[in-house]
Amino acid sequence: MALTQFDIKLYKPRAIYNPGERVAGEVVLKLTGTQSCR
């Protein structure tokens, strides 16, 4: 289940209000970054 550009755009605004989700989002991006499909 790879993140798409849309998922990333949804993560960022929420990350501004929720630091916890920001950390989780960055971790997800790092994990998917190595095996990202575009």
Instruction: Spell out the domain ranges in the chain.
Output: 5-32
Q: How high is the pLDDT of residue 28? A: 75
Q: Where are the alpha helices (DSSP H) in 1-38?
A: 5-17, 19-34
Distance CA 5, CA 3 (A): 7
Cα 4 versus chain centre, distance: 9
Distance CA 1, CA 24 (A): 15
pTM above threshold 0.75: no
pLDDT tens sequence for the chain (38 residues): 566 666 666 666 555 556 666 677 777 777 776 655 54
- DSSP state, residue 38: -
